[in-house]
Structure 1
Amino acid sequence: MARKDALKRLYNQLVSQRAALRQSLSEEIGLTGESAAGSSDPVDAAYDDSERELNSQLAALEGRELVRIEAALTAMREGRYGVCEGCGKAIPIARLQVLPYTSSCVDCQRTVEGRRRAGQADADWESAWEHGARQRDQELSVRELDMQ
């Protein structure tokens, strides 16, 4: 019964984290779009640009966390929560309390991380796509922009 009670508490924790992340993302998306319109000071413009970039990166990080939380809540509804995707064993409650949206036990996570260090892990296509997008953004010249 203790595991069931702990899972109920984790469910409530995940729901509250999800709500907080949604609120935070909503605010950050609003901040990312703001600019110092009409500011002629290049220092202010550079500061605003760096602040928007920081907000954008934070929003991306929180977005990935929100996806993991949604996956954990879906697993709870389907009865798969707390079971390691690697070995099929129950993930200890202590690990779930620390990282409630994890889908692997410590041993399987170590194995995955060991493969990553050895260069044997599956490609992280999301990171590769984000890197490619950043590279394309950096390669864009002012002449390519249709400014009037």
Structure 2
Amino acid sequence: MAASFSVSSLVGRWLFAVVLVFGTYNPTDYSYVSWLFNPATAFGPVTAIVGVLLLIGWIIFLRATLLSLGWLGILLGSALLGCLVWLLVDIGWLSLQADGAMTWIVLALLSILLAIGISWSHIRRRLTGQVDVDDIEDGRG
């Protein structure tokens, strides 16, 4: 039986994407990039393990997003999210004048796009009833 998809599973995937994106980089001193390039940080096994874990997370999210949305879907999703930011700025709900505001917005939009990408097969199945099947090698040559 196939696992059911719900808003809570999308939110969970988005929270993982938020941790991945903002844990890798953000404009504060609390990110892997800031930690790694801090002169007081000595590169060692802990920084290497955290870096490899982040790399694994990025590969999982990027591969799933690319396979499920494709380049056109990523481009259209980015355009839609960018237009939403434009709308929010245009109606005065969002200001880009604050220092680092655009960085925070881009990082948040990236996490949303990754969450949609990793969830897209489930969303598509729910909307259309169609199931995506990945090619699986069965060992026959």
Q: Which band: TM-score by shorter chain?
A: 0.3 to 0.5
- TM-score, normalised relative to structure 2: 0.42
Higher RCO by CA contacts (8 Å cutoff, separation 6 or greater): 2
